[in-house]
Amino acid sequence: MTLPMPTGTGARSAGAAHAVETRSAATEARRCAHEPEVRLKVGYVMSRFPRLSETFVLYEILAVEERGVDVQLFPLIRERGDVVHPEALELSSRARYEPFLSLPVLRSQLHFLRRSPRRYLGALRDVLSGTWGSLNFFVGAVGIFPKVAHAARLMQAEGVDHVHCHFANHPAVAGFVIRRLTGIPYSFTAHGSDLHVDRHMLCEKIREAAFVVPISQYNRDLMLEECGERSREKLVVIHCGVDTEFFRPRGAMVDDGRLEILSVGTLHEVKGQRYLVEACRLLRDEGVDVSCKLVGDGPDRKALTGQIAAAGLGDRVVLLGRRDRDGVCELLRSADVLAAPSVPTKQGKREGIPIVLMEAMASGVPVVASRISGIPELVEDGVSGLLVPPADARSLASALARLQVDPSLRERLAVSGRAKVAAEFDLRKSAAELVSRFARARVAA
């Protein structure tokens, strides 16, 4: 939320102060990026790495490194999958994967108990009391605390200037512990279900952080409601972004009368694929020549396979399995529309702003998405895409049918969608803002 500036002399003074502060942060970021002796060193903490569906973490790290930052990776868990983004392989090879318990991990506990017993025991007490009442958070905190203390010791020894954590749940707890044990400033990004399902200890994490990055105004408002006005200054909306040089508009499409729909995401209830399959059935029954490709894998694969067969859509709806970024880019070139029918689950899970929407819009592909969470901040209904109520197959089918019969609407949405992403959801612009914040936190520390 943007606060109105006061008028008069006070406004000029405040504006000047803000300008000086902004210039200072920008100067510090440039200095860190170009002077090896003061190169900014940032430790990144995430739940799992490399995770195929979390391209926003991977490509943010690469964009931050492009700006001269020395990034060290400290994943809580090593992710193993049959499909990995090629760019993740090099990062994974130098990531600090640590076991939950080992002799070095135990030595790090003794290190802090000897040198800073009050800090160590105080951090453990606050984490356990803060997560009490949430089985997931409490067990997770107990499990990761020793290895996080070990990571904190490594970061301190290696001169890490700042720690940035992706996700407001376990990784943010890790940042909290590292800050308590070493004094290294930390920040975290709050995305979707990590914020919406369980907010145990959220306010403590925000208080301890140098700054916090909600990926949408929707998330920021929720965090303000949860933790109060004292958290306002720390909450800085920085959108996740995509590489608008990699995802570029394709050439003119040949209209053969068939509506080619693409949907990309983990096959999970929160993604709403079952409503898309039902929408395809409705379109087929109404005489629309429709084809749909579902990219991804997950727990709903069996149920979706059964739904497709029961509806007689085996020749129209295809489950393609996992694809890396190059594979998704190639599929976008032949798609008429990208559908993201996200829904909130009974457990409270919900998406933030799906990255694939940004990828499609940057590629000049019109999108249809659910009006939920921060999605309307990216997709303005009728301007940069079409929005429909979540869990409403009939409305989804109607929106897709509009695009099928109106090529000019598809073209207008494609052009506006690309412009929206380039202006507000560009990966390099978001990375530049993050690096500036990292540098500012270092100065403040």
| pLDDT tens column, 266-288 | 999 999 999 999 999 999 999 99
What is the structure's pLDDT at 276? 98
Say which DSSP state 385 is in: B
What is the structure's pLDDT at 374? 96
At 389, phi and psi to the nearest 5? -65, 145
What is the structure's pLDDT at 261? 98
- Report residue 395 as tokens: 């409305």
What is the structure's pLDDT at 246? 97
What is the structure's pLDDT at 252? 73
Q: In percent, how much of the chain has pLDDT > 70?
A: 92
What is the structure's pLDDT at 81? 85
What is the structure's pLDDT at 255? 77
What is the structure's pLDDT at 23? 39
Tokens 């400290």 correspond to what residue? 74
Q: Using CA atoms, how far apart are residues 310 and 67, in angstroms rounded to an integer?
A: 52
What is the structure's pLDDT at 4? 34
What is the structure's pLDDT at 14? 38
Integer angstrom CA distances of residue 309 from 145, 300, 302, 319? 47, 14, 11, 12
Report, as ranges of residue numbers, the positions in the chain whose pLDDT lies below 50: 1-27, 29-36
CB 146 within 8 A of CB 180: no
| pTM for the structure as a whole | 0.88
Length reported for the chain: 445
Which residues, other chains included, contact 111 with Cβ-Cβ below 8 Å and sequence gap of 6+?
Answer: 153
| Residue ranges of domains in the chain, CATH in brackets | 38-241+426-444 (3.40.50.2000), 259-424 (3.40.50.2000)
